Amino acid sequence: MCGTRKQNIAAVLAVCADCLRDRPDQVAHIDRARKRVRTQLGLPEQPPRDPQGPVCRLCVNECRPAPGQLGYCGLRINREGKLVHLAGTARQGVVSWYYDPLPTNCVADWVCAGGTGAGYPQFAYRDGPERGWQNLAVFLGACSYDCLFCQNRSFQEMAARRAPRASARELAAAVRPDTACICFFGGDPTPQLPYTIAVSEMVRAAHPERILHICWETNGTMHPKLLGRIVRTAVETGGCVKFDLKAWNKHLHLALTGVSNSRTLANLERAAAYIPCRPDPPPVVASTLLVPGYVDHREVAALARFIARLDPDLPYTLLAFYPRHLLRDLPTTSRQQAEDCRQAALDAGLTRVRLGNVHLLS
């Protein structure tokens, strides 16, 4: 137990951010709490590592399930030594969707075509917010992470049930005459990227003359080849890839998400190389959830320095936290924490930093 009571310390973590950053060996209890939840849902406790198992290379976890065992995301299984994709293929996904009027509450709405008209007239219908148009918001029911603070935990139940399902053609047909953009989020699109790519290709083939910006909001853990495909689609359509950066310190990140951030940071660097192809609207943006007591100005400053080395103009949104999942005992983000983090990002060299979900600030 951490000795200080001046900081926000979550019961499931039982230690402060400094302890997680500097003494990761003492936090095995975090994995036990995470595993209890996953076991109840029938999902693997951790990415399987059977040395004889077939390898899945969709994401950083590179699961090797034993015979009859699921992969970490719940959508792959080892059947008689072969990796079988239960969903998230080019044909079918575990997914739901709805229509969201533009401009919508999105981490990129302050710089994207739908929110601002950036890229008009090539990539936007209006020289300003695309009011009167809709975003097709596509929620994917799986994830390569297992965040203690997950804001959309329903993805785990969807992954465990592998339902509801829809074919790629069904989702592509959901594009209406007033649809201006499509956003894939979740959960996370990563375990189902083949599905989202197939949907995107079908939509573009069916509407070759229309403005239809296509975006992905992701933790960035996908295989680099898949990253390249979605970034190119975002660039060509006026969309963007939104990287959700959870933390900088590798031990803190592992405690909060259950997975390494190495692939995420490497993929952000790869994606940033596409920015010169179409600077406006920006094809790559980033965001970080400001978890009280854990994702503080130190984490934001380190992330911002990394982003600034890639492109100081890359937009960065800092999001206010609301208590969810296993961190329900933490407060919402304070205004002081938010302002400190915003200043840290600016001091690190970023030129475009915004506070999001400000209505949640305490």
Task: Give the whole-number percent of the chain exceeding pLDDT 70.
Answer: 97
Chain segment 74-119, per-residue pLDDT in tens: 999 999 999 999 999 999 999 999 999 999 989 999 999 999 999 9
For residue 199, the 8-state DSSP code is H
Residue with the larger pLDDT of the pair 5 and 339 = 339
Chain segment 310-328, per-residue pLDDT in tens: 999 999 999 999 998 999 9
Whether omega before 67 lies within 30 degrees of 0, making that bond cis, reads no
Chain segment 275-288, per-residue pLDDT in tens: 999 999 999 999 99
Chain segment 164-182, per-residue pLDDT in tens: 999 999 999 999 999 999 9
Best CA proximity match to 312, nearest among 290, 345, 283, 288: 345
Hey, which residues does 92 pair with through a beta bridge? 167
Using 50, 70 and 90 to split pLDDT, how confident is the model at 246? very high
Chain segment 288-306, per-residue pLDDT in tens: 999 999 999 999 999 999 9
46's CB contacts (< 8 A; 6+ apart) are: 31, 35, 72, 258
Q: Please give the pLDDT value at position 4.
A: 42
258's CB contacts (< 8 A; 6+ apart) are: 31, 34, 46, 145, 146, 147
Chain segment 115-145, per-residue pLDDT in tens: 999 999 999 999 999 999 999 999 999 999 9
Would you say residue 156 has pLDDT above 50? yes
3-state secondary structure of 206: helix
Chain segment 2-42, per-residue pLDDT in tens: 544 457 889 888 888 998 888 767 666 777 888 888 999 99
Mean residue pLDDT of the chain comes to 95
| pTM for the full predicted model | 0.96
Distance CA 103, CA 289 (A): 21
Q: Please give the pLDDT value at position 1.
A: 47
Distance CA 95, CA 29 (A): 32
Give residue limits of the domains in the chain: 17-85, 92-360
Chain segment 184-242, per-residue pLDDT in tens: 999 999 999 999 999 999 999 999 999 999 999 999 999 999 999 999 999 999 999 99
Torsion of CA 208, 274, 345, 291, to 10 degrees: 60
Q: Please give the pLDDT value at position 30.
A: 79
Q: Please give the pLDDT value at position 98.
A: 98
Best CA proximity match to 108, nearest among 344, 305, 274, 319: 319
CATH number attached to the domain at 92-360: 3.20.20.70
Distance CA 239, CA 108 (A): 10
Torsion of CA 234, 314, 103, 156, to 10 degrees: 70
Q: Please give the pLDDT value at position 5.
A: 42
Average pLDDT over every residue of 238-250? 98
Are 164 and 92 within 8 A, CB to CB?
A: no
Q: What is the 3-state secondary structure (H, E, C) of 126-150?
A: CCCCCCCCEEEEEEECCCCCCCCCC
Q: Estimate to the nearest angstrom the gap between the alpha carbon of 228 and the chain centroid.
A: 16
Q: Please give the pLDDT value at position 27.
A: 65
As given in the structure block, the two tokens for residue 29 are: 């209890």
Q: Which helix (H) or strand (E) holds 256?
A: helix 250-257
What crossing angle do the helices spanning 154-161 and 28-41 adopt, rounded to 10°?
A: 50
